[in-house]
Amino acid sequence: MDYAKLFRLDGRGAVVLGGGSGIGREAARALAAQGADVTCADRDLGAAEETARLAGDSAKAYRLDLLDTAAVERAATELGEPDVVVLTAATNVRKRLLDYSREEFDRVLSLNLGATFDVLRSFGAGMVERGRGSIVVFSSIRSITVEPGQSAYAATKAGIVQLIRTAAAEYGPSGVRVNAVAPGVVETPLTEPIKADPEWYRAYAEKSALGRWADAGELAGAVVYLASDAASFVTGSVLLVDGGWTAVDGRYVPPGA
């Protein structure tokens, strides 16, 4: 094995779903930097085009609404034969269960879990047929630990873990790997409401061992790792990139410690 090229993705095609902003944008840039030919797919074509511009000359943009199952199926055909598929898109409605409506619940499940199901099936089918590929889906620390107001979101992120594990078991014999990344708190458009509240923002920062939030770019390394030959024997795994949140959650520092 050539360890100097362990993380290189030269000659491989990568599709980043939700690549118009946040973690998706940084993942697309990182994959391109390692030599992949990247397609940035997003419902907002303008945002996808900006990501493609940032990622470099070989990157291109593609408009895709992940809530449209037929569109996901078309994308799996129209985008060629990708070696890497990354799904970062997600939504959240922060409300306590007794305040939640069924419409809001269904909205969160449709994107977070429903789109994951569609992507695993549509893109996974081609990878299984070709006998190679890596799929990376974003879960969350909320698949492990919750707080008031996170019911639907946490349920979907836990569901994603079991979906990718099942896909890993079913696709593995064909040489296809499926893994998840579970971030902690990250500076993205999805977390804007928290960032707008200084006390809330500080409280989340203090929950991690590193005492701060992550920048979206700090998740890109996990994506490159799971996409590359460096993770050739890694499948069905959940890679926590949470600054130590789940390691120290609920900690108490005794006097004098």
**Domain-located, residue 257:** no
Domain of residue 149 covers 3-241
Report the pLDDT value the prediction gives residue 229, as an integer from 0 to 100.
97
Give the pLDDT score at 195.
85
Confirm whether 252 is domain-assigned.
no
> What is the predicted pLDDT for the residue at 194?
85
In which residue ranges of the chain is pLDDT below 70? 256-257
Residues in the chain: 257
- Can you give the pLDDT at residue 257? 62
In a domain, 250, yes or no: no
Residue 42 domain flag: yes
Instruction: Report the domain count for the chain.
Output: 1
Q: Is position 251 within any domain?
A: no
135 assigned to some structural domain: yes
Residue 4 confidence (pLDDT): 94
Answer whether residue 197 is part of any domain: yes
pLDDT at 54: 98
Position 165 in a domain: yes
pLDDT of residue 255: 76
pLDDT value at position 189? Answer: 81
Catalytic residue ranges? 153
- CATH number, domain containing residue 60: 3.40.50.720
